Amino acid sequence: MASVLVPVLYLIIVFGSLIAFSSFYRRRNARKVFEPYFPQHHERDVYFSLLQMSDPPAPETLLKAALVRRAMTDVTRIIRLREDKPALQNLLQKGSIGDDLWNSLLAAEKELEAEILEVAAEANAYVEGWGSVIFQTATEMMHNEKMRTLVEQIPAIRAEAELKYGKFPLPQLIVQSPAPGSPGSPSMPLTPARPTTPLSPKTNGGGLAPSSAGAESGTFSDSERSASPTSPRSPSKSSSSKKSKKRK
- Please check whether residue 68 lies inside any domain of the structure: yes
Q: How far apart, in whole angstroms, are the C-alpha atoms of residue 121 and residue 70?
A: 13
Give me the average pLDDT of each 10-residue run along the chain (248 residues): 75 87 74 78 93 89 94 95 93 86 91 95 93 93 93 92 77 58 48 46 43 43 44 46 47
How many domains are there within the chain?
1
Residue 210 φ then ψ, to 5°: -75, 165
Q: Which range marks the domain in which residue 108 is found?
A: 39-164
Question: What is the number of other CB atoms lying within 10 angstroms of the CB of residue 247?
Answer: 6
| CB contact at 8 A, 24 and 95 | no
Name, in order, each residue with C-beta under 8 angstroms of 75's C-beta and a sequence gap of 6 or more. 135, 138, 139, 142
Q: How far apart, in whole angstroms, are the C-alpha atoms of residue 212 and residue 201?
A: 12
- Please check whether residue 11 lies inside any domain of the structure: no
pTM over 0.85: no
